[in-house]
Amino acid sequence: MEVIKEKGMQFGGWFKYNWINNLLFSTAIILLVMLILQTQALGFHYDSFGDWFAAWSRNLTNVLRNNAGIGIIALGMTFVIISGGIDLAVGSTLVAVGAAIMVLMDTGPGGLLGQMGITGFPAYALAVILGMGTGLVLGELTGFLITKGKIPPFIATLGTMQLFRSVTQHFMQGYNPAVPKGFLPLASFKFGNLMLMPIIYWLIIAVVMYIVATRTVFGRQVYAIGSNERTARLSGINVIRVKRRVYALMGFLVSIAAIIQVARIGSMDYANAGAGYELDAIAAVIVGGTSFAGGKGSMIGTVLGVMIIAVMNNLLNLWGVPPFLREAFKGAIVIAAVLMQRKEKEL
């Protein structure tokens, strides 16, 4: 099937052309369809339009807020996958960073900053900065193993995935830090009755990442390396440095997700927090149209991909599909996305 772009095309032709040739377009259409279904599933049995709208927006912001962490991680994962790699350790990094900030801020006797007499806002700021630093260092370590150690990304991060979580669990056993109340508004500040902070962080980071990906030397070099590493190296790109930065950036973004999660929930389950995040993030990136072979993909696609999976989950919930079955739909949509990408390639 071949559709040629031509002037004076009817809507049907225009739609078909974009559906086949423009991956972002088809992804956005799928999201739109899901939003319509979701609206429909939510029902219209409200007293007034105001009531309905309040319920509708609350539902949607809940969905987005619950997925903001994954959304931020998926943005970093997009770069990792575009560069031709993979990072399985994001969930474990999240736990490690979360543990680090909680130990720093703990209001109990074990709190590191508290012991040094730093409390209140300075303590929060310091915890956030050190938490981001931890994420960066862990990401840098992954990058080091992959570039200098020449370990395939899948293996290297499979290793660090086990390592980070297990070490965190060991040191945190029997220790229950309490997060100070003053820290929580970082994520749970309310606009009216809507909790929007995580969504705002997500969108700001998405905009920044979009610009980094499309307009900076680093961003373009990531695409170049993913598309053809040999040419990239022969074109004077420092492949090793760029790759290390990709994983460091990944660690940094995970640390932001960790900070949001700690501020939102006020605690962390070291055994289970972040478990499965790596697969959720990868699924979102793939649904968003990024090629697993590297070199192709976009941040906008990833944002749409996260939203599609999130809205679909909500939709299945509203429809009353049993929770165990919902995972099957997630799997199906990933496979469908890859089949769609192939259709595009063959044309």
User: Which listed residue (1, 4, 234, 325) binds another protein by CB under 8 A?
Assistant: 234
Q: Does 162 bind another protein (CB under 8 A)?
A: no
d(CA 85, CA 66): 27
Q: Does 320 bind another protein (CB under 8 A)?
A: no
- Let me know if 190 is exposed, middle or buried by CB neighbors in 10 A (0-12, 13-18, 19+): exposed
Q: Does 215 bind another protein (CB under 8 A)?
A: yes
**N-to-C CA span, the chain:** 8
- Alpha carbons within 13 angstroms on the beta-carbon side of residue 311 total 23
d(CA 34, CA 36): 5
Structure tokens belonging to residue 131: 């938490």
User: Which listed residue (74, 81, 130, 237) binds another protein by CB under 8 A?
Assistant: 237
Interacting residues of 317 by C-beta distance below 8 A, sequence separation 6+: 326
Q: Does 22 bind another protein (CB under 8 A)?
A: no
User: Per-residue b/e over 198-230, b at no fewer than 16 CB within 10 Å?
Assistant: bbebbbebbeebbebbeeeeebebbbbbbbebe
Nearer to another protein, 145 or 237 (CB): 237
With tokens 């709190």, the residue in question is 111
Nearer to another protein, 139 or 294 (CB): 294
d(CA 326, CA 320): 10
Q: Does 238 bind another protein (CB under 8 A)?
A: yes
User: Which listed residue (16, 114, 233, 330) binds another protein by CB under 8 A?
Assistant: 233
Binding segment for another protein among 11-19, 91-99, 131-139, 223-231 (CB under 8 A)?
223-231
Count of residues that bind another protein according to CB under 8 A: 22
Nearer to another protein, 224 or 283 (CB): 224
Q: What angle do CA 339, 279, 165 make, to 5 degrees?
A: 165
d(CA 35, CA 12): 22
Nearer to another protein, 76 or 84 (CB): 84
Q: How far is the CB of 145 from another protein (least distance, A)?
A: 21
User: Which listed residue (61, 137, 220, 266) binds another protein by CB under 8 A?
Assistant: 220
Integer Rg of the chain from CA: 21
User: Which listed residue (66, 169, 228, 317) binds another protein by CB under 8 A?
Assistant: 228
User: Which listed residue (79, 201, 223, 247) binds another protein by CB under 8 A?
Assistant: 223
Q: Does 272 bind another protein (CB under 8 A)?
A: no
Q: Does 232 bind another protein (CB under 8 A)?
A: yes
Nearer to another protein, 190 or 343 (CB): 343
Binders of another protein among 172-211, rule CB under 8 A? 211
Q: Does 79 bind another protein (CB under 8 A)?
A: no
Q: Does 231 bind another protein (CB under 8 A)?
A: yes
Binders of another protein among 134-153, rule CB under 8 A? none
List the one residue out of 119, 115, 138 whose CA is nearest residue 127. 119
CB 236 within 8 Å of CB 224: no
User: Which listed residue (295, 300, 305, 337) binds another protein by CB under 8 A?
Assistant: 295
Q: Does 21 bind another protein (CB under 8 A)?
A: no
Q: Is 197 helix (H, G, I), strand (E, B) or coil?
A: helix
Q: Does 224 bind another protein (CB under 8 A)?
A: yes
Nearer to another protein, 75 or 237 (CB): 237
Interacting residues of 107 by C-beta distance below 8 A, sequence separation 6+: 114, 178, 179, 180
CB 17 within 8 Å of CB 3: yes
Q: How far is the CB of 20 from another protein (least distance, A)?
A: 16
CB 87 within 8 Å of CB 295: no
Binding segment for another protein among 26-34, 71-79, 144-152, 214-222 (CB under 8 A)?
214-222
Contacts to another protein by CB under 8 A: 211, 215-217, 220-221, 223-224, 226-228, 230-238, 295-296
